[in-house]
Amino acid sequence: MLRFMFVGDSQTIGSAGEHTWRHRFWCHLRSACEDGAVEVVGPRDTLYDKTTDTPTSLAYADPGFPRRHLAGWGEGWLHMAPVVADAVRACGPDVLLVNLGLIDLGFYTDAEQTAANMRRFVVGARTANPAVRIVLLPVIPNIRAETDLPFAAEVAHFNTLLAKAVADLSEPRSPLLLASVPESYDIHHDTYDGTHPNASGEHKLAAAFADALHQAWGIGGPYRHPA
């Protein structure tokens, strides 16, 4: 059995009533793999509840979806680097699917600091599982980067540093894989507020991870977008 753990910020935890890209990825993987071959693990299981401003909701659009994850609204590499070792040790994931960076650059750290926290995250995950595999998504297009040129430059710089870190840190026993942001991803079509994915965006983020896993490691199959 192959165990997956989703790691991310608000784009990954999602809010009450959403399917989330986690759900879209799980549906793909469930259809592409044999029964019982994959499992979703993680120390958390909530969605974010905007009405109470807390991560307490269990109101998933699909209540049958395995809800485990390591994601938090407003949390980034800065927050996940110190806790990933305990999460990996407790939950036993084989593969981490990571979508982080936007919240760091927007509120907490510059590109260089964010990249340093990414490297701390990898070290922490390997402390708990030296053979863990990690798939990372660059910071995706967002509304702030369209209007704030210095912020857009930080995003671009971080994505360059992320690619370099993946190349530097990947090793045969614990490979790192950089997923590709879909060229068709459009914040005016694939998000509901310029940042958080709507149904279309959820499918595209799921596809980014699914296609990377299939092409690089032969896991699952090509992502099939809904008609």
Q: Give per-residue pLDDT as tens, 169-204.
A: 999 999 999 999 888 999 999 999 999 999 999 999
pLDDT at residue number 182:
87
Find all residues with CB under 8 Å of 209, minimum gap 6, and list them. 25, 97, 135, 137, 179
pLDDT at residue number 32:
84
pLDDT at residue number 223:
92
**The two structure tokens encoding residue 52:** 């109470």
State in Å, rounded, how far the first CA of the chain is from the last one: 30
In a domain? residue 101: yes
In a domain? residue 119: yes
CA count, 13 A, side-chain hemisphere, 193: 6
pLDDT tens, the chain, 227 aa long: 899 999 999 999 998 878 899 999 999 988 888 777 899 999 999 888 888 888 877 777 777 788 999 999 999 999 999 999 999 999 999 999 999 999 999 999 999 999 999 999 999 999 999 999 999 999 999 999 999 999 999 999 999 999 999 999 999 999 999 999 888 999 999 999 999 999 999 999 999 999 999 999 999 989 987 65
Considering its fold, how many domains does the chain have in total? Answer: 1
CB 166 within 8 A of CB 116: no
CB 182 within 8 A of CB 176: no
Name the residue range of residue 92's domain. Answer: 2-217
pLDDT at residue number 106:
95
pLDDT at residue number 50:
85
In a domain? residue 222: no
In a domain? residue 225: no
CATH number for position 101: 3.40.50.1110
In a domain? residue 144: yes
In a domain? residue 21: yes
In a domain? residue 223: no
In a domain? residue 118: yes
pLDDT at residue number 55:
80
